[in-house]
Amino acid sequence: MSTVFDFSAAGIDGKPVDLSAYRGKVLLIVNTASKCGFTPQYKGLQKLFEQYRERGFEVLGFPCDQFGHQEPGTEAEINSFCELNFGVSFPLFAKIEVNGKDAHPLFAHLKAEAPGLLGSEGIKWNFTKFLVDREGRVVSRYAPATSPEAIAKDVEVLL
């Protein structure tokens, strides 16, 4: 059975990142966008990352432009926007697709392991979040409207 650690993705700098590098850590994997009503969640994600990183927690941000063209920038623009506006220091990755035939294999796995409402696998909008345990198993899926602060108690349980 595959886990999140069996996948790789391009970092925001275009270099390949093997997710096995995060083995043993609790992960919150999020599809993000810079021009979305939920974009201010970057602040909460950064706060969660800072609060728990020393205990083995990482936030992994995956920019996606599939929802309302809300992530139109280049990787360099996205990275700069996140750093300047929200102080993001957690890992960001290159833009990906999360739905459809070109969905990144990691997100195909996440969706299969933690379906949404009524068993639907498709991601409905930016800032859908997946909580992953230290063994790389998907534990929970959270809707875009769920704030990072509301996830803190679930992160604590896994740490």
**E strand or H helix at 107, and its extent?**
helix 105-113
**82 labelled catalytic:** no
Beta bridge partners of 57: 26
Q: How far is CA 41 from CA 2, 93, 96, 112, in A?
A: 29, 17, 19, 25
What lies within 8 Å, CB to CB, of 77 at 6+ separation is: 34
- Say if CB 138 and CB 130 are below 8 A apart: yes
Nearest Cα neighbor of 113 from 137, 142, 135 is 137
The catalytic position among 4, 12, 29, 36 is 36
Q: Give me the active site residues, please.
A: 36
